[in-house]
Amino acid sequence: MSFIKRKSKSKKRAVLKYVLILLLLGVIILPFYWIFISSVKPTDELIRAIPTFVPEKWTVNHYSNLFAASDYGQYLWNSFYVAFWTMLITVILASLGGYSIYRCSYPGKNLISKLILVAYIFPQVLILIPLYKVMSSFSLINNLWSLIIINVTICAPFGVWLLKTFFGTIPMAIEEAAAIDGASQFKTLYKIFIPLAAPGMATVAIYAFLTSWTEFLFANTFILDEELKTLPVGLARFITQYNVDWGLLTAGAMVTAIPPLVFFAFVGKNFVKGLTTGAIK
Amino acid sequence: MQLKIKIKSGWNNTSLFGIVLIAPLLLWIVVMIVYPLISSIWMSLTDVDFLGINSNFVGISNYIELITDVEFWTAMGKSMIWTIGNALLQLILGFTTALIINQQFKGKSFVRIWIILSWIIPTIVLAIIWRWILNSSFGILNYILQLFNFVEQPIDFLGSFQLAMPTVIFINTWRWFPFLAIIILAALQTIPVEQYNAASIDGANSFQKFIYITFPMMRPTLSVLGLIGTLWSINIFDVIYMLTRGGPAGATETIPVFVYQKAFQEYAMNKASAAAVILFLFLSVFVVFYFKIEPTFREDNFLN
């Protein structure tokens, strides 16, 4: 009797569990579903008083307008350019810095590691104004490299921290063994540590890409020309126009979301792992 | 669960190589953060104009003007509401979500990765999604609310003085709670199962297990999240700016938005700098205070 009771109780719990999980997924995924179907509805259906939950008519007009009638293609290219160089430089700086901090010994290192810590919890708005002046003195206002430089500044300190678990947990005996075999420090770094830390470096690379892809504050301030704007700034201008074209805007949002999603689909598992092992040690 | 890595910091045969490797990053940080920080403090003490041509030292008069400015204190208050609201909501939802997805269920590896979908998308996409859903003329949410007779008139969530701040906090929480959940989940999974088994044998119920095992074991992770999360959310600018631009009538104007408006709408660089410096001091005090009151917290949790 009590056995049956317990069984029905555990069944109830299992149902509750799946209900909660579905609810959770719904909260996360439904907004994306809504923006997707909105981007493929014709404009008259889009602004109908009674919305359709599955499009009656499908259209790619908003997507073709996006590339034909706006500077979206140019924004997309600019964003890719900035993200690519941000990724590359961040990975190099963070790997070298991480190796230095977790594997080498020299006076002043503790101070440097504290400085790096401060650098990634810093109010960005605090350095925005002086950086504007720094950038203009180097004639970098209205130049995509100003964004690459600032994105690396945002990403590299966090990258060093992410690499801690990868550099920090490799036994010191490896360097000693390599030194006995006559390998130089540089050779040890790139023959042994770079391959071992590769998953960590991939995490740093994705983090840098995501950060660069979304960065708005500096891109909105340092770039003045229309043809140099990145996606977030370009799209933000669409929002504030008097007559908002929601078809265009939702299509723009979809295309902007695709590169991070594709990236994540391939390496999401390692990214989450890298992120969480870094956070909990 | 701490894996301590010794930072050795004396001279030895790795020193020269270490210094060469850290040099580029160090130089980068000094030029991009340390110098601007000092420059910001300097600017806040001058009457510099937008072009930076004329600048005379004026002492703390910018600060005095600022602290007698009602708009500044309103922005400070908004920042407090924003930060505390986000921290509480995200922690509760993040912890609950972590407990839910920590169970065994079909598709768990998929859910545990893709749940952070809302975190990986760019802020502008988030802004478009929610502006469209909450739109007062064509938004789906207002349609549903009216369909079920919850409201008679459509609600302008982002345009209402009372609702704008809660709405923006909600949207930012939607973005961040899954991220917190996966970090908390990873920490939950480091708790040895034996502890729960032993507690079961001793007759502990689920609630007691949570209070005496889960929570203490989670404390170091929660304390790091608490600190970094607070600093990150205080500094958030883009979500608010894209959703409301600080409006309506300053309803969502936190300090970062205030600084931006002062600097790039009113071109009052000196006052904007002073406000940013006050924010920085405020955060520094918060960090020091946090180190003091949080016993499980060690700053070497970050780097050592």
Q: What is the DSSP string of B235-273?
A: T--HHHHHHTTT-STTTT--HHHHHHHHHHTS--HHHHH
DSSP B46: B
Are A24 and A122 found together in one domain?
Answer: no
SS3 (DSSP) at A20: helix
Question: Residue A7: which domain range?
Answer: 2-39
Are residues A150 and B9, on separate chains, in Cβ contact within 8 Å? no
Q: pLDDT at residue B53 above 90?
A: no
CA-closest candidate to residue A264, choices A212, A200, A210: A210
pLDDT score recorded for residue B223:
82
Are A165 and A34 found together in one domain?
Answer: no
Using a 10 angstrom Cβ sphere, with 0-12 exposed, 13-18 middle and 19 or more buried, the burial of residue B247 is middle
pLDDT score recorded for residue B5:
47
Domain-embedded: residue A178: yes
Other beta carbons less than 10 A from residue B126's beta carbon: 24
Are A30 and A78 found together in one domain?
Answer: no
Domain-embedded: residue A46: no
pLDDT score recorded for residue A70:
81
Q: Which residue intervals of chain B are DSSP H helices?
A: 15-29, 35-43, 61-67, 70-101, 108-114, 117-120, 123-134, 140-147, 164-188, 193-201, 206-209, 215-234, 238-243, 255-264, 269-293, 300-303
Query: Which residues in chain A have Cβ-Cβ distances shorter than 8 Å to B32?
Result: 127, 131, 134, 149-150, 153
Are residues A119 and B18, on separate chains, in Cβ contact within 8 Å? no
Which of B15, B27, B33 to mutate to probe the A interface, most A CBs <10 Å?
B33
Q: H or E segment at A170? A: none
The residue of chain B nearest to residue A50, with distances taken between CA atoms, is B143
pLDDT score recorded for residue B299:
47
User: Which of the four CATH numbers 1.10.3720.10, 3.90.220.20, 3.40.640.10, 3.20.20.70 does domain B69-303 have?
Assistant: 1.10.3720.10
Instruction: Determine the Cα–Cα distance for residues A241 and A244; give it in Å rounded to an integer.
Output: 6
Q: Report pLDDT digits (tens) over A104-159.
A: 888 888 888 878 877 776 778 888 888 888 888 888 888 999 999 999 998 998 88
Half-sphere exposure of B168 (CA within 13 A, CB side): 31
The total number of structural domains that make up chain A: 2
Closest CB from B101, B185, B237 relative to A217: B237
Query: Which residues in chain B have Cβ-Cβ distances shorter than 8 Å to A118?
Result: 33
Are residues A149 and B32, on separate chains, in Cβ contact within 8 Å? yes
All structural domains of chain B with their residue ranges: 69-303
Closest CB from A133, A250, A268 relative to B113: A268
Domain-embedded: residue A173: yes
Amino acid B192 reads P
Are A82 and A6 found together in one domain?
Answer: no
pLDDT band at B133 (very low <50, low <70, confident <90, very high): very high
What is the overall mean pLDDT for chain A? 85
Q: pLDDT at residue B210 above 60?
A: yes
Q: pLDDT at residue B303 above 50?
A: no
Domain-embedded: residue A165: yes
Query: Which residues in chain B have Cβ-Cβ distances shorter than 8 Å to A28?
Result: 114-115, 117-118, 178
Q: Report pLDDT digits (tens) over A166-223.
A: 777 777 777 777 777 777 777 877 777 788 788 888 889 999 999 999 999 999 989 9
Which of B6, B16, B21 to mutate to probe the A interface, most A CBs <10 Å?
B21
CA distance A1 to chain B (A): 22
Domain with A84 in it: what CATH number?
1.10.3720.10
SS3 (DSSP) at B210: helix
ipTM score for this prediction:
0.88
Are A118 and A31 found together in one domain?
Answer: no
Mean pLDDT of A259-280: 80
Closest CB from B118, B123, B260 relative to A28: B118
Domain-embedded: residue A185: yes
Using a 10 angstrom Cβ sphere, with 0-12 exposed, 13-18 middle and 19 or more buried, the burial of residue B226 is middle
Are residues A216 and B238, on separate chains, in Cβ contact within 8 Å? yes
Are A208 and A81 found together in one domain?
Answer: yes
Are residues B121 and A260, on separate chains, in Cβ contact within 8 Å? yes
Query: Which residues in chain B have Cβ-Cβ distances shorter than 8 Å to A276?
Result: 182-183, 185-186
CB pairs under 8 A between A and B: 308
The residue of chain B nearest to residue A47, with distances taken between CA atoms, is B138
Are residues B221 and A102, on separate chains, in Cβ contact within 8 Å? no
Domain-embedded: residue A56: no
pLDDT score recorded for residue A122:
74
Instruction: Determine the Cα–Cα distance for residues A30 and A71; give it in Å rounded to an integer.
Output: 29
Q: pLDDT at residue B172 above 90?
A: yes
Are A76 and A32 found together in one domain?
Answer: no
Query: Which residues in chain A have Cβ-Cβ distances shorter than 8 Å to B120?
Result: 210, 260-261, 264
Domain-embedded: residue A47: no
Are residues A256 and B279, on separate chains, in Cβ contact within 8 Å? no
Phi, psi of B185 (to 5 degrees): -60, -45
Least confident piece of the model among A166-175, B134-143, B165-174: A166-175
Are A83 and A183 found together in one domain?
Answer: yes
